[in-house]
């Protein structure tokens, strides 16, 4: 690998030699062209393409770029490898449920190795859009509703994709997206307007991007949405002032697919030339769509449209990444080494990830069913469905099997009868009745339900968060038999369970958990695996209760359950059931307070107990914090049950009095430990300057003196609380 000064000189030499048209050719990625068209585009000087589906095809395009263009500049080759190339891992939301960022780093590493072997050198992942509205289909692609969780998992993905060095043959460029606040689309409708205060923009939406930049992310993608009136693609304040100048981001800002063209529909640009001019002036470096140059070799931007220094800056950023990837030295991949089938090691990693993301939402002594001989009835559309890979999956990915197949392999002693009872949509009550008519003959019933993955992902918002079709009727029919039964739910977003949850003895959240998802579920049903995941998003009681999220502000009139303390802090994110008899409080008259299942909720087949929390020191000054001194928080947790299990310990803070209304709790740290029966472990955390403050509406970061509460425990529920005083 050539040294940095030599690389810089190479870039400057190239810039010197390139024409205006050649420079602009580097600033676009052609959006999924046919192969022949791609070859022509490369001959015409385009700098980046979507992956042409094989190492051999990629090599040919790289050859054209190297040998048939004036300066022989190799190509960036992009693909959305979001949670797997050949080996599909659980959807990112399910990965977040593991509360173990190592699984996402592993996913990204395996994914990068598989994708790079075929010539991909750039992925459009991770998505770190904080998502508080489950109607939005894209919640499946990110890490849920919490800012800190998105920061930690996003950084883990970046490390996994980019490896130790971009020059390693199995490293690919990561792309943090979508910059920014895309998760706050009004009404949860994809691509919709975002109007956000300065403090929320920073405290909630920008933080994960800062963490990604700190982790060295090579590229960032602009979001489709406006932010307070100005589309992100043409937003100089966001792309340049904050991302590049303030965060010090030295990589490439890429547009989203036709995001520049969309400025016309936003009513921001008069025509395509105007849209391009505004975007590049705002700080965009690569347009996604291939609209910068024209088929006759011209460009839509003349030297007078965008300052040449801006164009040079963008080209410099692109060329530096190509050099860092080692593409000038060797852009080719050996077709014989292309990974086309998952290795057993990759499958194992996908299985571990799927197992860690399972969340046991309810269990009245039904699960685990054990491995012993028994008659099990498996019903529901997910009994035979193989739709486990989830949104954003490659058409050439290794297909998953069904839950029925996995149960037969993992639980060979069980005598399993499979009857779907109903499909995902439609449904016939007679068929449901027939499916459970002889329920008394079975020792246990497993109900496999969910939303098909086509209802999740981009442009897949839903207004109704209940299970589609007649699946709820099927669940109720099974519950009415009185037989021991467990519902397993496969989905890509929080769903509403209120019409049936009280009737069922057990509910296991399985998500769309990828290639090995069904096996993970079978193992959890038998008890070979003890679920230890937690919800990374609140599950609402009703679709009209959203957005509902744990780190809400208190409001001046917080709702509280009748008889609870007046005043003080009220976690609506936690409360319920029961409504309030206080009239003038923040609530719905026709709905119990709080969510169905709060953020952080998740049970286990064993139980855990916490000892007192130790905070040291309990008083600290602003000056000490600023000088880097930290507060140490330690807690011991014991597995008080009979089975080995994983416990997620979370640390939340609350700033009791501040100049801006603060969230009732904010997650600042978490850890996941595996504990044998009776085993005790201590988890230690540190809180410092960056953990105790917030940004104001002018973008100023403040830690304000005063009293803080520190809550530590296995989620929001039943946490131990202690105090910390920050002195001026």
The residues annotated as belonging to the active site are 256
To ligand BGC, the closest distance from the beta carbon of 177 in angstroms equals 6
Q: Where are the alpha helices (DSSP H) in 283-341?
A: 308-324
- Asked if 686 interacts with ligand BGC (CB under 6 A), we say no
Q: How far apart are CA 690 and CA 663, in angstroms?
A: 16
The two tokens of residue 526 are: 């038998």
Residue at shortest CB range from ligand BGC = 124
To ligand BGC, the closest distance from the beta carbon of 124 in angstroms equals 3
To ligand BGC, the closest distance from the beta carbon of 256 in angstroms equals 5
Please select the residue that binds ligand BGC; options are 62, 69, 74, 80, rule is CB under 6 A: 80
Residue 80 or 420: which CB sits closer to ligand BGC? 80
- Asked if 51 interacts with ligand BGC (CB under 6 A), we say no
To ligand BGC, the closest distance from the beta carbon of 661 in angstroms equals 33
- Asked if 312 interacts with ligand BGC (CB under 6 A), we say no
Residue 221 or 687: which CB sits closer to ligand BGC? 221
To ligand BGC, the closest distance from the beta carbon of 257 in angstroms equals 4
- The DSSP letter of residue 334 is -
Query: Do the Cβ atoms of 91 and 137 come closer than 8 Å?
Result: no
Q: How far apart are CA 508 and CA 494, in angstroms?
A: 13
Angle, vertex CA 143, rays to CA 229 and CA 690, nearest 5: 75
- Residues facing residue 711 across a β-bridge: 652, 721
Query: Do the Cβ atoms of 706 and 660 come closer than 8 Å?
Result: no
To ligand BGC, the closest distance from the beta carbon of 292 in angstroms equals 17
- Asked if 496 interacts with ligand BGC (CB under 6 A), we say no
Residue 342 or 457: which CB sits closer to ligand BGC? 457
- Residues facing residue 293 across a β-bridge: 299
- Asked if 257 interacts with ligand BGC (CB under 6 A), we say yes
- Asked if 124 interacts with ligand BGC (CB under 6 A), we say yes
Hey, which residues between 709 and 728 contact ligand BGC (CB under 6 A)? none
Identify the three-state secondary structure at position 560. coil
Residue 231 or 573: which CB sits closer to ligand BGC? 231
Q: How far apart are CA 102 and CA 155, in angstroms?
A: 10
Q: Which residues contact 451 (CB under 8 A, 6 or more apart)?
A: 424, 462, 467, 468, 490, 491, 492, 493, 495
Q: How far apart are CA 611 and CA 624, in angstroms?
A: 29
Residue 27 or 508: which CB sits closer to ligand BGC? 27
Hey, which residues between 574 and 633 contact ligand BGC (CB under 6 A)? none
Q: Is the peptide bond between 415 and the residue preceding it cis, with omega within 30 degrees of 0?
A: no
Phi/psi of residue 258, each to 5°?
60, 20
Please select the residue that binds ligand BGC; options are 60, 105, 207, 256, rule is CB under 6 A: 256
Size of the site for ligand BGC (CB under 6 A): 6
Residue 460 or 473: which CB sits closer to ligand BGC? 460
Residue 80 or 398: which CB sits closer to ligand BGC? 80
- Asked if 177 interacts with ligand BGC (CB under 6 A), we say yes
Which bin fits 215, alpha (ψ -120 to 50), beta or left (φ > 0)?
Answer: alpha
Residue 138 or 356: which CB sits closer to ligand BGC? 138
To ligand BGC, the closest distance from the beta carbon of 317 in angstroms equals 19
Identify the three-state secondary structure at position 197. coil
Q: How far apart are CA 90 and CA 87, in angstroms?
A: 10
Q: How far apart are CA 405 and CA 414, in angstroms?
A: 12
Helices and strands per DSSP (H, E), number in the chain: 20, 27
- Asked if 316 interacts with ligand BGC (CB under 6 A), we say no
Angle, vertex CA 688, rays to CA 685 and CA 692, nearest 5: 105
- Asked if 129 interacts with ligand BGC (CB under 6 A), we say no
Q: Kindly report the number of other CB atoms within 10 A of residue 202's CB atom.
A: 22
Hey, which residues between 440 and 479 contact ligand BGC (CB under 6 A)? 458
Residue 153 or 599: which CB sits closer to ligand BGC? 153
Query: Where in 407-473 does DSSP place strands (E)?
Result: 414-419, 444-450
To ligand BGC, the closest distance from the beta carbon of 119 in angstroms equals 17
To ligand BGC, the closest distance from the beta carbon of 277 in angstroms equals 22
To ligand BGC, the closest distance from the beta carbon of 4 in angstroms equals 30
Q: How far apart are CA 358 and CA 362, in angstroms?
A: 12
Residue 124 or 209: which CB sits closer to ligand BGC? 124
Q: How far apart are CA 182 and CA 190, in angstroms?
A: 9
Q: Kindly report the number of other CB atoms within 10 A of residue 371's CB atom.
A: 16
Query: Do the Cβ atoms of 554 and 569 come closer than 8 Å?
Result: yes
Give long-range contacts, CB 8 A cutoff, 24+ apart: 587-591.
Answer: 587/559, 588/544, 588/545, 591/541, 591/542, 591/545
Contact footprint for ligand BGC (CB under 6 A): 80, 124, 177, 256-257, 458
């Amino acid at each position: 690998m050539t040294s940095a000064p030599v690389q810089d000189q190479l870039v400057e030499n190239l810039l010197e030699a390139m024409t205006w048209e050649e420079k602009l050719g580097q600033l676009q990625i052609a959006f999924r062209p046919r192969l022949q068209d791609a070859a022509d585009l490369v001959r015409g000087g385009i700098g980046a393409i979507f992956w042409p589906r094989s190492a051999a095809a990629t090599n040919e395009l790289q050859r054209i770029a190297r040998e048939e263009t004036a300066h022989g500049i190799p190509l960036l080759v992009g693909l959305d490898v979001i949670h797997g190339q050949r080996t599909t891992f659980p959807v990112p939301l399910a990965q977040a449920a593991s509360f173990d960022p190592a699984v996402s780093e592993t996913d990204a590493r395996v994914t990068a190795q598989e994708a790079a072997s075929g010539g991909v050198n750039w992925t459009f992942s991770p998505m770190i859009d904080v998502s508080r509205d489950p109607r939005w289909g894209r919640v499946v692609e990110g890490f849920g509703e919490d800012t800190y969780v998105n920061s930690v998992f996003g950084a883990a993905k970046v490390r996994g994709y980019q490896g130790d060095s971009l020059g390693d043959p199995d490293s690919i460029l990561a792309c943090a997206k979508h910059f920014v606040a895309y998760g706050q689309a009004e009404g949860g409708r994809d691509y919709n307007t975002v109007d956000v205060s300065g403090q929320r923009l920073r405290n909630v939406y920008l933080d994960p991007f800062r963490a990604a930049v700190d982790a060295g992310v090579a590229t960032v993608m602009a979001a489709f949405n406006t932010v307070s009136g100005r589309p992100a693609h043409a937003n100089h304040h966001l792309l340049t002032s904050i991302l590049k100048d303030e965060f010090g981001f030295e990589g490439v800002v890429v547009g989203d697919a036709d995001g520049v063209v969309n400025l016309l529909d936003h009513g921001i640009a008069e025509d395509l030339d105007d849209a391009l001019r505004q975007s590049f002036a705002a700080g965009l470096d690569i347009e996604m769509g291939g609209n910068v140059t024209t088929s006759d070799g011209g460009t839509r931007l003349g030297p007078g449209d965008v300052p040449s220094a801006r164009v040079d800056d963008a080209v410099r950023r692109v060329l530096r990444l190509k050099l860092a990837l080692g593409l000038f030295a060797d852009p080719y991949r050996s077709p014989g080494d292309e990974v086309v089938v998952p290795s057993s090691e990759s499958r194992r990693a996908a299985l571990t990830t799927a197992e860690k993301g399972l969340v046991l939402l309810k269990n009245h002594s039904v699960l685990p069913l054990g491995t012993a001989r028994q008659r099990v009835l498996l019903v529901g559309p997910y009994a035979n469905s193989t739709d486990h890979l989830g949104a954003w999956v490659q058409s050439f990915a290794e297909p998953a099997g069904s839950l029925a197949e996995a149960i037969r392999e993992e639980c060979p002693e069980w005598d399993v009868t499979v009857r779907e009872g109903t499909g995902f949509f439609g449904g016939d009550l007679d068929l449901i009745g027939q499916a459970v008519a002889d329920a008394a003959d079975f020792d246990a019933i497993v109900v496999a339900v969910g939303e098909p993955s086509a209802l999740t992902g981009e442009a897949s918002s839903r207004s109704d968060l209940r299970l589609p079709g007649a699946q709820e009727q099927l669940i109720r029919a099974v519950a009415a038999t009185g037989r021991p039964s467990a519902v397993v739910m496969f989905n890509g977003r929080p769903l509403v369970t209120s019409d049936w949850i009280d009737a069922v003895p057990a509910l296991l959240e399985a998500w769309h958990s990828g290639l090995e998802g069904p096996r993970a579920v079978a193992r959890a049903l038998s008890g070979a695996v003890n679920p230890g995941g937690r919800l990374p998003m609140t599950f609402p009681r009703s679709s009209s209760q959203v957005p509902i999220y744990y780190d809400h502000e208190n409001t001046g009139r917080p709702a509280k359950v009748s008889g609870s303390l007046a005043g003080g802090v009220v976690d609506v994110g936690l409360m319920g059931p029961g409504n309030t008899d206080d009239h003038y409080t923040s609530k719905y008259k026709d709905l119990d307070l709080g969510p169905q299942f709060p953020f952080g909720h998740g049970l286990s087949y064993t139980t855990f107990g916490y000892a007192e929390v130790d905070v040291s020191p309990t008083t600290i000054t602003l000056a000490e914090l600023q000088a880097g001194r930290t507060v140490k928080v330690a807690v011991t947790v014991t597995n008080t049950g009979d089975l080995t299990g994983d416990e997620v310990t979370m640390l939340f803070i609350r700033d009791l009095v501040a100049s801006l209304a603060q969230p009732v709790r904010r997650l600042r740290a978490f850890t996941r430990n595996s504990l044998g029966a009776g085993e005790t472990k201590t988890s230690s955390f540190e809180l410092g300057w960056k953990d105790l403050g917030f940004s104001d509406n002018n973008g100023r970061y403040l830690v304000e003196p005063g009293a803080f509460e520190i809550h530590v425990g296995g989620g929001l529920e039943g946490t131990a609380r202690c105090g910390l005083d920050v002195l001026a």
